[in-house]
Amino acid sequence: MKITIHTQKPKNKLGDLFGIFFEDINHAADGGLYGQLLQNGAFEFSPLDNAQYRALTAWEKIEEAGEVEWSVACHDPVSRANPHYLSVAVVKQGRRTGVRNLGFQGGIPLTGGSEYNFSCYARTCKPGSNVRVVLTDGKGKELCSGTIFPGEKWGVHTLTLTPAWTEYGARLELLLQQQAELDFISLFPRETFLGRERGMRRDIARMLAALTPKFMRFPGGCLVHDGSLQTGERDSLYRWKNTVGDVTARAARRNNWNYNQTLGLGYYEYFQFCEDIGAKALPVLPAGHNPHAGRQSTPMAEMQPWIDDALDLIEFAKGDAQSTWGSLRARMGHPAPFVLEYLGIGNEEVSPEFFRRYRVMHQAIRAVYPEIKLINSAGPFCAGEAYRLGWASARENGSDLIDEHYYQAPDWFIENHDRYADFTEQTKVFVGEYAAKSNTWYSALAEAVFMIGLEKSAHAVGLACYAPLLCNANYVNWQPDLIWFDNHRVYGTANYYVQKLFMNHQGAYSLPCTPALLLQKQPAEIQTGNSFSGELCLAGNKSRVAFTHIFLENLETGEVLHLPDGYAEIDGQYKLSKIDWHRFSLKCTARQFGPGWGFELLFGMQDQENHYGISLGGWENQDAFFTGKKNGLVTTYTQKSFHVQSEKLYELELQVLGEHIAVLVDGKTLLTGSKEVRAVESMYYTASKDGNGDIIVKLANVLETSQEVNLVLEGVSKATGTAYVMEGFDPTAQNSFEAPEKVIPTGFPVKTENGVLCTMLAPLSLQVIRLTPVVE
């Protein structure tokens, strides 16, 4: 096949299209990107963060032939924000007495011969006594040590420690003979990313820098909006002012992913990191609204503190060094302004309560900083009520961008590669979170197809970033993730290498191609439209449910089956019947007993991993969904708000009409949708031109057959360059700690012959080709 690239006809600016999204999920910050090696060094862990946590979590007593008493005190602390500290006394002297920190799961990773910066606050009521600071292996063998001499008053003590050999499961021991009080105990490698003090873990940061992202979204995710509305509370929504200034004054918080967040990686470190990797900052602020269970909103008359937070954050980032917040930035070490062009308000909030609050924040920020691009929220669904509300608010307010999120099965990304092709909205799309639900090559390839579509639709799409970014393999909250690590290793997934290719080779503007698309014939499945045949099943969603008056009607033949009443225990299923009907209706009454997330009607069921479903109650009993599950990966087609009342009797009807479905509750239509089966195209491709004149072509082949492509570079007779090729992988292939480079691109030199580059795309493959025109 032949594709002509119109190299002299710039189409759309690609701007900051591809970036990254950082959220402290899966221990992405503490125990991850943030270089701190000790866990709970400030004794602030609490059962409020995680039921298993105590103030002495990650600490052990050392009582070798001696005895130690310890407690966590808070009288006259170093910092009122983090008031707890360790009080330790030796009550029976022995060989080794004191305490040890275990680091994050697996211990402290140390490299022999490298330097580590230890620091702590300490005081003692036995002046003259000392504390030995020792790094040991997992069995207590000393790798190196130093000594600090606390006084009667709190003081900071520092040491440089150089372990004699490499250990990945090391411990930090504080050995004493008398008594001491200790707080903010800290250990950082000296070799952090770019050598910054208390900086980022180098290997992970380098992986992020290597992506060359145009922007970095921060700090979440649900982390932004999950929690209490009171800024001083431990589980408050993420308030940026609690994350800046001296680290001792940043009150530890409950991270909604079920752990403790020290905030050592706060807003200042974030802005600095963005600058260090050449990415624009894209902060997301809460809007005084928590959409999670127990929904809460700040009264409209009390929104000023939330507005001030936004205005002050902008001043912190880019105000002059004499301004109130700019001067704090300067005192923290950065007198020059940081770059700030984007600001998100809210994450996935889509209720009227949120949009009322969005509006006042939007207007207040616009009035003072008209140049800041403001981002609204379209929620986590690709269609439906919440999505429409988000877009209505974006239009009404004139939001610059709107944040759309998709966690869908790979085929959805392929079918939706041209989702934005015909968009004519003023507000641009920010695909702020997306992932094709696994770290396999097939998912990565599906994401590549989607990204090709985003690049082609740059008139409508402004920004896009994969999510989540980081995962500590010992603390998995969510998967898939782009980069996996443990305490000393890191690897990029297949998805990472796709992102890297797209970011390293984005281009400054897109170029038109002819033909615009290479279409192939519609698959048979679409022609028959019979994709919903299979087993029918009724179930509860985390709930106990009963179904009665169950009738199944073939809407083509009029045949009616009356099925016996059924009951499903929590997560159980009540199987009905297997059908091969094209148009049918399933009616029943349903009741939920006690708490839960309502009912599920499963249909077109081939097995547990492959079926369609209607969920009434959905997420946290707040939604109704129409979903499809393929090979265990779920796609949500549409959504509507819906809450199931416990003990109430509902009359339900599911109508399946070819590819379309409708759900009626108590006789009223609640949800309609259709299963889009879209033709797979022969080839997905896009072209762009870089600022230096390079021409970049991206080609993806999702077919099981090879395809030859002749790329005609209009107006360029000769060009040479590199083709970065991802091919020959099993669709299920994944990278791992053991095989971190199983799925990676390989670069080959290429050149045009008579203005044409001929390339062969292997089955299920991706090519990113960068060509430099040769001036003759």
User: Which residues belong to the active site?
Assistant: 348
Nearest Cα neighbor of 550 from 654, 442, 682, 451 is 654
Strands 649-657 and 583-593: antiparallel
Report the length, in residues, of the chain.
776
Q: Are 33 and 205 in contact (CB under 8 A)?
A: yes
Alpha-carbon distances of 114 from 109, 117, 170, 587, rounded to whole Å? 11, 10, 14, 69
Q: What single letter denotes the amino acid at residue 500?
A: K
Q: Are 251 and 45 in contact (CB under 8 A)?
A: no
Q: Which is nearer to ligand AHR, 86 or 386 (CB)?
A: 386
Q: Could you give the CA distance from residue 487 to residue 103 in angstroms, rounded to a whole number?
A: 9
Phi, psi dihedral angles at 241 (to 5 degrees) = -65, -20
Structure tokens belonging to residue 1: 């096949």
SS3 577: strand
SS3 24: coil
SS3 626: strand
At its nearest, how many Å lie between ligand AHR and the CB of residue 225?
A: 9
Contact residues for 266 (Cβ-Cβ < 8 A; gap 6+): 240, 242, 243, 244, 250
Per the listing, tokens 């393929």 go with 630
Q: Is omega for the bond preceding 763 within 30 degrees of 0, making it cis?
A: no
Question: Exposed/middle/buried for 231, CB within 10 Å: 0-12, 13-18, 19+?
Answer: middle
At its nearest, how many Å lie between ligand AHR and the CB of residue 163?
A: 36
Structure tokens belonging to residue 179: 């008594």
Structure tokens belonging to residue 366: 């616009």
Q: Could you give the CA distance from residue 3 to residue 454 in angstroms, rounded to a whole number?
A: 19
Structure tokens belonging to residue 34: 């943030």
Q: Which is nearer to ligand AHR, 380 or 410 (CB)?
A: 380
Q: Could you give the CA distance from residue 686 to residue 511 in angstroms, rounded to a whole number?
A: 8
Q: Are 624 and 618 in contact (CB under 8 A)?
A: yes
Q: Could you give the CA distance from residue 43 to residue 59 in angstroms, rounded to a whole number?
A: 9
User: Secondary structure of the chain: what % helix, strand, coil (to 5)?
Assistant: 20, 40, 45
Q: What would the DSSP string read from start to end of 201-217? A: -HHHHHHHHHH--SEEE
Q: Are 687 and 5 in contact (CB under 8 A)?
A: yes
Structure tokens belonging to residue 310: 């936004």
Among left, alpha and beta (phi > 0; psi -120 to 50; other), residue 143 is alpha
Structure tokens belonging to residue 138: 């997992």
Q: Which is nearer to ligand AHR, 25 or 601 (CB)?
A: 25
Question: In angstroms, how far is the first alpha carbon of the chain from the final one?
Answer: 28
Residue of this chain nearest to ligand AHR (CB atom): 221
The residues with which 283 forms a beta bridge, in sequence order, are: 218
Alpha-carbon distances of 644 from 102, 384, 589, rounded to whole Å? 46, 19, 13
Q: Determine the Cα angle at 169 with ends 168 and 170, to 5°.
A: 100
Q: Are 385 and 641 in contact (CB under 8 A)?
A: yes
The residues with which 547 forms a beta bridge, in sequence order, are: 566, 590
Q: What single letter denotes the amino acid at residue 165?
A: W
Alpha helices in 626-686 (DSSP H): none
Q: What single letter denotes the amino acid at residue 501?
A: L
Q: Which is nearer to ligand AHR, 22 or 497 (CB)?
A: 22
User: Within a 10 A sphere around the Cβ of 302, how many other Cβ atoms?
Assistant: 11
Q: Could you give the CA distance from residue 618 to residue 542 in angstroms, rounded to a whole number?
A: 10
CA 17 remoteness from chain centre: 17
Q: Which is nearer to ligand AHR, 25 or 656 (CB)?
A: 25
Q: Which is nearer to ligand AHR, 384 or 604 (CB)?
A: 384
Chain positions contacting ligand AHR, by CB under 6 A? 23, 25, 220-222, 347-348, 380, 405, 433, 467-468, 478
Q: Which is nearer to ligand AHR, 281 or 467 (CB)?
A: 467
Question: Exposed/middle/buried for 531, CB within 10 Å: 0-12, 13-18, 19+?
Answer: middle
